[in-house]
Structure formats: C-alpha cells, structure tokens
Structure 1
C-alpha cells in the first residue's frame, strides 16, 4: 500500500505542477492548442505525427501557436512570424543546444563565450579560394577509395555513411592542414564521433517521463554520468592530443624562433594557436583546441554529409534532370581541364546550384532553428506576447512550401524556380547560399550559418565529380521520400546504384 500511496502522491504533485505551469499562460500569449492528457500534452503527436499535427494547428489557430511538449510550453512560428524571430537576435537567442540538453564540450571549452561563428566566417568561408584545390584533391581520392570504379553497377546501401568517409578528409585538411589530415586515426575519429549514436544515447538514458515533468529534472538525471567524470568525448580528446601535440609543439617552436617572420599556415589549427596568444602547451590549451576543433568537425561533417546524401537521392530519382546537369558539369570540366577554380564552382555551376537549392528546400526539417527568448518578453506584430525563457521553434515547412513564395507548384521539385529570365535574354539565379524570407535552410539574420559558403562549395564540388564519373539512380529508378522522425528528416535507408559512365 505504501508504494501505491507514494505513486499517487507523486502523480498528484506532477499534476499540480503541470496545472500551475499551464495557468501561468497569459491571455495575450499565442494560443495554447488544447490537449486531452495532462503531463503528456502534445508530446505523442509531435513524436509520431508532427508533419500533419503542425499543419492542423497552423490552419486552426494561426501563428504563432503554442504546444505543451516534453514538460514545457513551446511556441511555433510560421511563414509570417518567423522573420521576427530571425531578425531580432537581441531578443531571440539561437540555441542549437535545445536539440541535445547536455553540452558535452563544456568540460573542454569551459564557460568562455564561443567565437566559433566568427572563426568559421573569417577563416573558412572567407578563404574558400585557398582551400578549393586541396578539397578537390581529397574529394577525388575519397570517391575513388569509397565508391570505386563501378565498371559493374554497385549498390551502396547506406549512402550517408559512405559520404561521411568522403567528406571527412577534406574537412580535416582545412582544420588540421596536411600534417594533421595524414593521420588515418584522426579521420576515423572524426567519423566515429559523428556516428557514435550509442555513446550519446547513454547520455540521455534517463526515463523519458522525467522530460514530460520538466526538462530541468531530466537534465539533472542525465548529467549524473558527467558529474562522475564520464564523457563520450574523452577518447577522442586523448587521440587528438597524442597525434596533434607534436604538430602543435613544432608550430609554437617555429613561432618563437621566427617571431614576426613566421607565416601563418592556412588551416584552423594554426589560427587557433595564434588566437590563443600563448606559447605554453598545457592541458588547458590542448582541451580548448580539441573542443574548438571537434565542434567544427561535428557541424561541418554532419551537415555536409546529410545534405549531400539528400541531394544524391533527389538526383538519382529524377532522370529528367540527368542530362541537363551532366552537360553543364562536362562543359565546366573541359574548360577547366579537370581542375576546378573557385570561379568555376561559384559562378558557372548555375544549374547545379539551383538543383542543390531545391534539394535543400525539400530536405529541410519540419520544424527547426530552436531559439529562446532572452529579453523580458516579445510581442509579435499580431499582438501576441511570448515571455522570457520561452522556447521558440520555426515551423520551417510552412516557410519552405508556402504558395506565398512558390505559387501553386510549391510542392513540386523544380530547380528552375530559382532562375529569373528577363526579356533582354539575361538570366539571374538565386544562389543556394542566399538566405531570405523564403529560404531559411541556413537560418537568417545575424545568426545565419557562417559556414554555408564553404559547405555549398564543397557539396557542389563533390556532386560535380560524382555526376561526371557515374550514372547514379535509386534502385527502383523512382523518387524515394526521406524518413520522418518527429520534426526531423533522415535520408532514405534504401540503396543508391552507381555505375561508371564509361
């Protein structure tokens, strides 16, 4: 009986806590969609039917609207209210950590504000021309190693895993230079760091119902392993130090000897060493270098391999696009003698760029770009107000497939929609790197992804090589839809067939 009484008491406390939270919702807040079950709220629908559910909510309650998900009220913005979120970075703080409630990097980077966006903007996207030839060389080598000649048709069952292996080396070269990228163990570490789902799952193995009570309780429980010193990144940190410490020591030694005559190398590792302003190689420096490097690794390799995988499925299931894209790439190849310049990638790949932008649109998650209200409150233009600490998600599908921007064909895959033709014969295309009210794949405003220029260049360069070398098609020869998991889209699990064009 004691167990029953304890359970009933716990349930009553949870229900009371839930009722108090719900009663705090102000009259001028976005409408809270009614729900039937306390504590659970809308969580089940979001987990298993997010696409249809968000559409129903938008049609019935307008925007923005609020849902009770995972123990807290979350507000969703649509096509009209999203620009207010992306355009007011002083009120809405982009918080990608909401995707994963534990910062496993904090042990290594401490509590200092991250300057990663600035570094990526200046030292990666700002130096694309420096990296183009190096990336091209590594991409060609990766394609040969992991896809092969394919004289006979070859089916690759998990394309994203293969693409991970192909793009890891070029990104390692940009981050660690030729010296660091030569270590196969580092490349394997980068890949396993991205694919180590089991390690991350251990971090969130607390009972799911705790999240429904309140995220802070859930976070407290999942933080317990970290409190006792366990961290899934430790093994990667140890390998990084083992292999890269000699490179770091050599570079710092050269800086001391040459002084102002030292020429900084074109990779992020050397920039981080210069930016640190120290010549003392201790655990503090090594921890910070590791944390900064692997944060960029995670963002760059994960997003690039995902996007490239979606693009290959979009290409492989649409034979009507094959000849047009191939002819453009062949023309560029012949003009460049097989060695792409930055101008080739940026200015000449118009059809491929438009195809990629359309692929971005179709692969965008149903809801994305989590923000948190950091001001006292914010009142939208329609008069509704969200309080401080409210989580905001962008209902991104409402933006990406809105007739307001794309007309009645918004649900059709049409790369040419991004090209505008004028009566004088001139054509202008909207590049895949351009963010605006209709295209939020890379966010918007001051927090638009700073690495998008580098990422788009690398993806186009890789597609260029793949399209020239292979006939690529889905096994069925038809369009294969992505897998939807809650808000998120995952590349199809079926195979892609590669066959040498020659």
Structure 2
C-alpha cells in the first residue's frame, strides 16, 4: 500500500511505505512482524543501525503500528512543542495509570505537576531537615551498623522502603507519617502499579488496544490494585482530615497551612465537611504522587549505588567532600549544603543519570493535525513518537570521544582563582533529557535529586560500599528500557 492511516493499521496488514514526506520507514523482512522482535530483544543495535543508515527521525513497524523515533537533533523539537506532542496520551497507551485512579479523582496531570513544583520543589528548605531525619532512620532500620560486612540483594526494593519514609512525611506530614503501615502501603502500592507495566508485550504486537485491555482486565471485574490502600488511608488519615477541617472552620483566615501536601489539597478543596468524594479525591491525588516519586527515585538511587560500588577510583574524592560538608554542618544538612556544596556528588549523580538513560522511551502522541520537523519530514496526527534517549546520552556531539566513559568531572569547570562551577543534575538541556525538557520537564526533579544526594551523603559517610564482584555491574536491558542490576552490594561500617 502507498500510505497508512494516522491510526494503527489492522493487525495483519503489511506496511510497505509511509507517505513520501514522512520520516523514512525502515524496511523489514517479515510482514505483520515487522521490527517487533528486534526491538524487543536487540533494540540497542537496531536503533543505532537505523539512525546511522536513515538519519532522524525514522520509523519502525512495531506491535501493529508505525512508531517514529527521534534522535539527538530532533528530540528537542518534540520536547519544545507540548501542544503538538502529548506525553500523557502517549504513555497511557502502554501504561494506563490514569485508568486506575479515575475511580478516585479526575485531577489533571498538569495541575498535579504545578502542585509538585510549588508545594514540594518550592519548599526544599522546609523539607530538608525532615527528609534527613527520616533517611537516617531508614538507613538504621534497613541497613544497620554493618560492623560485619553485610551483603544486600534486591537493592531497589530496599531503597523503595527507605525512600517511602521521607515521602510519607512530605505528603502526610508528621501526623500521618508516624504510621508504619502507611509507609508500607506506599511501597506496596508502587510495586503493584509497577507490575501493570509487564503485561506480555506480544499483545502490543497484535494490537495496542488488546494490550491495554489485558492490563486493565482486573478493573473490568471490579478489582483495583490500590483499593485496599484506599481503605487504610481512610482508617489512618480520616481523623487527621476531620481535625484539620475543624480547625480551618474555627480559625478562618487565621489558619496557617501545614507544610504537607495533605493539608494543601484539603485547603484547595474548600471542603467544610468530610465525605467519600473528598476522601477519594485526597487518596487519588496523593497516591498518584507517591507512585511517581518512589518508583523513579528508587530506580535512580539504585543505579547510583551500583555506579559507586563498582568504581573505587571515585571513592576518596566523594568521601572527602561528604566528610568536609558533614563537619561544617555539624551533621545537620541545610538546603545550601545539599544544593551548593555537594558539587562532586552532584556531578557523580548526573553522570549516573546519563549512563542509566533508557534506550528509547518517553512516548509522545501527536495530538495536532501533524508536525513538520526542521529537516522537512512530517508526522501525522495520532502517530506515537519515541525519544531515542541513548542517542543523546552518549553522543560525541556533547561529550566528545569519551562519551562512553563514566566521568563525573565532565560537568565541572575549575578556574585559577580556585572557584569551581558545575552543571547541576537538575538542569535540563539538549544534552541531558533524563527529566524531559521544555515547560513540561519533571517538576519533582529538585526534590528527587536533593533526596538522592542526601541519602548518598549519609551512606558514603557511614559505609564502605562495593559490588559483590568488585567490578562494574551492567544494567539489565528489557526491550528499550534499562532496569538496575540484579546483583548484590556489600555494606561495611566505615569506622
């Protein structure tokens, strides 16, 4: 056939070529199957070969649809045009998280992003001491003194539990975070929702709607993986919510909002009384943020620990910087300590982010009539556009001939007067898209980076950390995703 519909073609329809002004459709050998198998099992080589031969953007026939991939030069055009490329619609096709929470709240992702930016990232000076207290407590519980070397597996699962404590403090305040079962609920909800991603991918090959149908099948039978967490939330938080509403009514304009998201959303609702609708809404918006924060932060911290544990050449400088900051702050970190003084740790973390970049993710659906890239190629409405992130993360254009090397100091510039400046891990630009880009860059990145750095600071000060083999452990690659290594880490008391 000469062209294709902007929507997915019938599952058994072969696609020979797309419209002439669209990105080139890479030839494939087998009808129906197209590039599906190689993208599942050899995506790294496939995408590199396609980029080298066909330039960018290019298209593959995958899972019954034509899917377009951008490269280092065209990715920023997607990120800078959110009115045309919609990430939420793109991700909902493969991971329909919005469907799970629709039962509880209709709050838009745009509004939640604004709240996270203003009420979390904008209040780091308030949350830093509280985060430190909860992280120290979590380290003592889940790692311990390690006077004898302790080998720990399931690193990401352990870190999810550790990170849930400060997250609970920020979301529920001191009152709600004191309940250990709420902290456990946060980690369980994150894991249960994350499992929904791993519905067999071959269903996507048959048709994306079939994949989504199977993923959402439990909901059709009335079972929602987070309903049990809603019951616990009401049990623990309903008395807190009732008391806060009572005080708001009693004090009126004299009421001072508490520094946690629960109180912010109570105030935003304007509720004078508590009912199921309010409780469902509060549960929905708060657990959406819980899932986003714990899942991504524990992943990034896992990668960072494996990067640290397999590179002993970095240990001394990282430890000396943390020890100096610890002594200057008397062990009580401020936002200035975390943001301005942890220069080498920040650069180490940014390099870890770069090396743990997925191969190709962040799908964006074209919601405008079409979009024409600067090279003249046009993608039609309905097309899913994936960002070939690895093409940016390891591009010699930005990182020179050492782009494949792990070098934290590449982000640092030192001057003869002793001053050192660096490109922080929270900064998004064309060379660093871990947190997306444009006006829809991750609003929680400032909080997440601070939390990770604070945790690494405490761990590096307290322990000698190394991989069990003493060598670098590579990430696990699943299709075009990377997940932290399944190896184990050895923790030994530094003293």
With structure 2 as the length reference, what TM-score do the two structures score?
0.94
Greater mean alpha carbon deviation, residues 214-223 or residues 335-344: 214-223
Greater mean alpha carbon deviation, residues 271-280 or residues 211-220: 211-220
1:51 aligns with 2:44: yes
Instruction: Give the aligned length.
Output: 485
Matched-pair contact (CA < 8 Å) for 2:476–2:485:
yes
Matched-pair contact (CA < 8 Å) for 1:158–1:495:
yes
Matched ranges for 1:220-369 at <5 A: 220-369=213-362
Offset at 1:280?
2.7
Offset at 1:481?
0.6
The aligned counterpart of 1:129 is 125
Matched-pair contact (CA < 8 Å) for 2:134–2:166:
yes
Matched-pair contact (CA < 8 Å) for 1:357–1:415:
yes
The aligned counterpart of 1:195 is 191
1:100 aligns with 2:77: no
Matched-pair contact (CA < 8 Å) for 1:350–1:429:
yes
The aligned counterpart of 2:372 is 379
The aligned counterpart of 1:182 is 178
Matched ranges for 1:34-49 at <5 A: 34-49=27-42
- Cα distance in 2 for partners of 1:112, 1:198 equals 20
Distance 1:229 1:355, change over 3 A: same
Offset at 1:198?
8.8
Offset at 1:222?
4.3
Distance 1:198 1:328, change over 3 A: closer
Q: 2:137 aligns with which of 113, 135, 141?
A: 141
Matched-pair contact (CA < 8 Å) for 1:143–1:166:
yes
The aligned counterpart of 1:6 is none
The aligned counterpart of 1:155 is 151
Q: 1:452 aligns with which of 434, 445, 449?
A: 445
Offset at 1:176?
0.2
Matched-pair contact (CA < 8 Å) for 2:193–2:225:
no
With structure 1 as the length reference, what TM-score do the two structures score?
0.93
Distance 1:16 1:407, change over 3 A: closer
Offset at 1:358?
0.3
- Cα distance in 1 for partners of 2:172, 2:358 equals 31
The aligned counterpart of 1:489 is 482
Matched-pair contact (CA < 8 Å) for 1:199–1:232:
no
Q: 1:432 aligns with which of 420, 425, 431?
A: 425
Q: Secondary structure at the match of 1:196?
A: helix
Q: 2:113 aligns with which of 111, 117, 128?
A: 117
Offset at 1:168?
0.5
Distance 1:146 1:423, change over 3 A: same
The aligned counterpart of 1:165 is 161
Distance 1:493 1:112, change over 3 A: closer
In the alignment, structure 2 segments of 5+ residues that lack a partner are 1-7
Q: Secondary structure at the match of 1:39?
A: coil
The aligned counterpart of 2:391 is 398
Distance 1:322 1:381, change over 3 A: same
Q: Deviations over 1:203-252 (max 9, x none)?
A: 947xx654323212433454443233221111111111111111111110
Offset at 1:197?
6.5
RMSD of aligned Cα (Å): 1.9
Q: Deviations over 1:89-130 (max 9, x none)?
A: 111112232441352111111375651100000000000000
- Cα distance in 2 for partners of 1:150, 1:209 equals 44
Greater mean alpha carbon deviation, residues 262-271 or residues 45-54: 45-54
The aligned counterpart of 1:62 is 55
Q: Deviations over 1:43-93 (max 9, x none)?
A: 111111111111111111110011111121111000000110011111111
Matched-pair contact (CA < 8 Å) for 1:200–1:232:
no
Matched-pair contact (CA < 8 Å) for 2:14–2:31:
no
Q: Secondary structure at the match of 1:35?
A: coil
Distance 1:295 1:315, change over 3 A: same
Matched-pair contact (CA < 8 Å) for 2:9–2:65:
no
- Cα distance in 2 for partners of 1:448, 1:342 equals 22
In the alignment, structure 1 segments of 5+ residues that lack a partner are 1-14
- Cα distance in 2 for partners of 1:498, 1:269 equals 36
Matched ranges for 1:14-29 at <5 A: 17-18=10-11, 22=15, 25-29=18-22
- Cα distance in 1 for partners of 2:256, 2:246 equals 13
Q: Deviations over 1:186-215 (max 9, x none)?
A: 1111111122279637x947xx65432321
